[in-house]
Every structure is written in structure tokens, then in C-alpha cells.
Amino acid sequence: MDALGKLANNHGAAGAGTSGEFYRFLRMEEDDADGSWDKQLAKRYDDKLYKEYCLADMSRYKESKIGLRWRTEKEVLGGKGQFICGNKKCKETKGLRSFEVNFVYKEAGEEKQALVKLRVCPKCSYRLNYRKEKELKAARKLDKERRRHERRREAARGKRKDMRQKKEAAFGSSERSTSELETDNSRESS
């Protein structure tokens, strides 16, 4: 195994350099301007990656922290990320769907973003969209409670209206009965 293979095994997707400081998720030409050995090693590692689909680490999906990395040749030949779910711990092959994910990450102290493709099963799709699903579920719950509250309020209004109509039917119009009472009171006082 060459130095690059050892480095990839020891550092995973972090790539070159003992601290991964020279690895770039998306390499630019200016990243390779300085021809240092570490940067050359990082470039060689980067050249061996397949950048059509990503693989995801969804172990912290509830915190909205999903890690993405490019696939290696071994993973491409095995179908991982294209014919097998792209979540690194899932081996599902049925019902896979492709997503374009806006991957926001920090690299070299700078916040960056990249639009990448990820192919996952329905279970991992839920994990990928967990935060949005939770927000939608909460919004649906609030909407349902609001509609229930309005139905109750309308029902209460209807009951009050029915009671008023029954009262008016039994005693006549409320305005009329009030005026009749005033007339009766004025007759008694005279």
C-alpha cells in the first residue's frame, strides 16, 4: 500500500496532511498553486475520488448534522451510493431516491457550500429531511389545533344563537319585551 492509501485509511475523507488541513471537498486550482508534498498528496487523493454521488454519515441527523464525502473506487465498484443507499450504515437497495443537497460546510476557516447528489432509501430520506419534517409536523399540529378551536368557537356561537332564537320564540323579541316592560312600568307608576 502506498503512502496515499495509508493516508486515506488513517484519515478517511479528511485526506492529506496529518491534520487534513490540505484536503478540500471541492478543489480549486489555487489550492494546488504551492507544490508542497502535502498538497500534492492531497491532490492525488482527491483525484482518486468519484464525485458523481456523495456518501452520508447520518449518525447525528437529529442535530441537523450530516457529514458528506465523495465515494472511493471500491465503493463505486460495489454500488454504494448509487445502487445501495448512500447512508454509510445502510445497505438498502429498494426504493432509492436521488436528492440534490445544498451541503454547507467549513473548510480552512471559511464557510462554503456545494450542491451535491445523494441517493438514499425512504428511511434515510426521512433522516435527511428530519428537521424539515419536524417543522412541517409542528405546523400541521398547530393548524389542526387552530381549526379545532375555530370549530368549537363557531359551535358555541351557534349554540348561543340557537338559545337566543329559542328565548325570542318563547318570550317574543327581546327588543319588544324590553319596550313592553318599560311601558308596563310607566303605566304602574302613573
pTM over 0.75: no
Angle, nearest 10°, between helix axes 37-47 and 3-11?
Answer: 80
Taking only the tens place, the pLDDT of each residue in 159-176 is 777 777 777 777 765 555
Taking only the tens place, the pLDDT of each residue in 45-67 is 777 888 889 999 999 999 989 99
What is the C-alpha separation between 102 and 24, in angstroms, rounded? 17
What is residue 72's DSSP assignment? P
Contact 114, 83 (CB under 8 A): no
Q: State the distance between the two ends of the chain, measured CA to CA, in whole angstroms.
A: 120
Contact 25, 104 (CB under 8 A): no
What is the C-alpha separation between 138 and 134, in angstroms, rounded? 6
Domain locations along the chain: 1-48, 49-128, 134-189
